[in-house]
Amino acid sequence: MELVKTEAKKYEDYLAIIDTGTKAQLDYFVNKMQGKRIAMVNATSYGGGVAEILHSMVPLGKDMGLDMDWWVIKGANEFYNVTKAFHNRLQGEEGHLSSEDKKIYLKYNELNATTVEAWDYDFILIHDPQPAALVEYLAPKTRQNAKWVWRCHIDTSTPNPEYWNFLYNYIKKYDACIFTMEEFVQEKEKLRNLTFITPSIDPLSTKNLEMDLDEAKQVIARFGVDIHRPLITQISRFDPWKDPLGVIDTYKIVKKEYPSVQLALVGSMASDDPEGWDYLYRTLRRAGEDYDIKVVTNFNGVSNREVNAFQTASDVILQKSLREGFGLTVSEALWKGTPVVGGNVGGIKYQIIDGVTGYLVDTVEECADKVLRILRNPTLAREMMEAGKERVREHFLITTHLLNYVKLLDRLEETGKAV
């Protein structure tokens, strides 16, 4: 395993954003955690929502006085190929879990468990399927010296049964399990200390700091966007569940009625996502020679500042997911005051109040209709902007997320129960 270094955060910088009730609870529960050591474990330090959350949560927690570290498991390409299949099939994709894939998955969990044997943490939070079997390879004393929590960030509402049943053998051994929404839970009566916590955005990260509109337009112009014409943007991994092909089809319908519209597909290629490259090439083929479609990634110079600019300067943000554990890009866009049209799935349904903070859609045709409605109605767009930002402030900021974690850990410490 590798210990991840993070940039410093200052708790005092958030006090102007959060309400006094959140501050009081944070101060109280963080104080109760003094002397306790916390480890976060996931599969990658770059790319995707989990890494992004931990890059903010861990240093923020440290500044508040929490003894918190972040570790990333190590694996070869064969491991990441197998765990990508886990990700897709736990979200419902069909496919057989071979004995060879099981061996690869367990081999790397066992190898990484050797590092865990030397730990002295009081709480260990394991994020997503990749490291879930670590708990299997620990000596009883090591296992009993800490509270183990499994955190599921993906949409497991209709999982491939073969993959879920295999994973369930390990997650049922955890002291607590966290899901984003109740509908994602399978076998809930057999999981210990089940609780629900939504992900979050960091309002003071480079991606989410307020950016002047003129500055944002200058940034996106570097990628060939005509800043004098309307822009639709989707920001996501290139992944079948994010449906970038459906986004292009939506854009083509909109363009027939609104010829000046442009589309940007903005994504990051993550180290644990080998399938992403294949889907990027499929997306480029679907875009063809339409020069009003811009497909850009971190390999074209896209970083958090550029993502901020696209979300700020776009007229509509799409998150047309077919499955979605949460979809942080929805809250990111709402925080910046940009209307969002999202797939009527998973955590997107919790962020978007249909017709108030954005629109929820089930088809390409419905998506195109809602995009056109926003483009043609600036007053509606402004109303959604105001409502969306307040919903994020109330429910989806990193400070509330951290509070929910420390409250859970405190309950586990005091009573052994999550509620």
Quick: pLDDT tens for 298-308.
989 999 999 99
Residue 176 has pLDDT above 80, yes or no: yes
Q: What is the pLDDT of residues 368-410, one digit of tens each?
A: 999 999 999 999 999 999 999 999 999 999 999 999 999 999 9
Which class for 118: exposed (0-12), middle (13-18), buried (19 or more C-beta within 10 A)? exposed
Residue 295 has pLDDT above 60, yes or no: yes
Residue 364 has pLDDT above 70, yes or no: yes
Residue 419 has pLDDT above 60, yes or no: no
Q: What is the pLDDT of residue 369?
A: 98
- List CB contacts of 83: < 8 A, sequence separation 6 or more: 43, 75, 105, 129, 130, 272
Alpha carbon distances (Å) from 348 to 6, 92, 320: 28, 17, 9
Q: How would you classify the pairing of strands 262-267 and 231-235?
A: parallel
Residue 35 has pLDDT above 80, yes or no: yes
Q: Phi, psi (5° rounding) for residue 297?
A: -135, 180
Residue 89 has pLDDT above 80, yes or no: yes
Q: How many residues does the chain have?
A: 419
Residue 416 has pLDDT above 80, yes or no: no
Q: Give the model's confidence band at 327: pLDDT under 50 very low, under 70 low, under 90 confident, else very high.
A: very high
Tell me the mean pLDDT in the region 89-99. 96
Tell me the mean pLDDT in the region 34-48. 92
Residue 102 has pLDDT above 70, yes or no: yes
Q: What is the pLDDT of residue 40?
A: 98
Q: Count the neighbouring beta carbons within 10 Å of the beta carbon of residue 384.
A: 24
Q: What is the pLDDT of residue 366?
A: 99
Residue 333 has pLDDT above 90, yes or no: yes
Could you give the CA distance from residue 258 to residue 281 in angstroms, rounded to a whole number? Answer: 27
CATH code given to domain 2-200+397-415 = 3.40.50.2000
- The CATH number of 213-395 is which of 3.40.640.10, 3.10.180.10, 3.40.50.800, 3.40.50.2000? 3.40.50.2000
CB 264 within 8 A of CB 223: yes
Q: What is the pLDDT of residue 273?
A: 67
- Closest by CA to 157, choosing from 126, 177, 175, 180, is 180
Site of tokens 């499955």: 323
Sheet strands side by side (includes 123-127)? 2-3, 67-72, 37-42, 123-127, 147-151, 176-179, 194-196
What does the block give as tokens for 388? 């969306």
Residue 358 has pLDDT above 60, yes or no: yes
CB 208 within 8 A of CB 335: yes
Q: Report the mean per-residue pLDDT for the chain.
A: 94
Residue 270 has pLDDT above 70, yes or no: no
Residue 64 has pLDDT above 80, yes or no: yes
Residue 188 has pLDDT above 80, yes or no: no
Calculated CA dihedral for residues 79, 82, 84, 90, nearest 10 degrees:
-130
Residue 71 has pLDDT above 80, yes or no: yes
User: What share of the chain has pLDDT > 90, as a percent?
Assistant: 89
The CATH 3.40.50.2000 domain(s) of the chain lie at 2-200+397-415, 213-395
Sheet strands side by side (includes 358-361)? 293-297, 262-267, 231-235, 316-319, 340-343, 358-361
Could you give the CA distance from residue 348 to residue 325 in angstroms, rounded to a whole number? Answer: 8
